[in-house]
Amino acid sequence: MKETSNLFTPKELADWQQALDLANYTNILHHCHVCDREWVASTEEICCCGSRSVERIACWQFPDD
Ligand SMILES: [Zn+2]
């Protein structure tokens, strides 16, 4: 392997940021405050009951208890 700078190139940084963004949106727990439905989706969704009063929690943000 040849010696290179430890710094990422702008393209590598962009790819990395995109991967992080994707990871953040992979598992989002949705909780509808109207019908109490809970589901997991990869993007922010409105509830199938039509409510937009939906709480969204990224799964990696779950508290320990
Ligand atoms: Zn609902």
pLDDT averaged over 10-residue windows placed end to end, the chain, 65 residues? 75 87 74 96 92 88 57
Number of Cα atoms under 13 Å in the Cβ half of residue 41? 15
pLDDT at 49: 97
pLDDT at 20: 74
pLDDT at 6: 74
pLDDT at 3: 65
What's the 38 CA to ligand 1 centre distance in angstroms?
8
pLDDT at 9: 92
Q: Where are the domains of the chain?
A: 26-65
What's the 59 CA to ligand 1 centre distance in angstroms?
19
In this structure, which residues have their CB less than 5 angstroms from ion ligand 1?
32, 34-35, 37, 47, 49, 51
Task: Write out the DSSP string of the chain.
Answer: -----SSPPHHHHHHHHHHHHHHHTT-EEEEETTT--EEEESS----TTS---EEEEEGGG----
pTM as predicted: 0.54
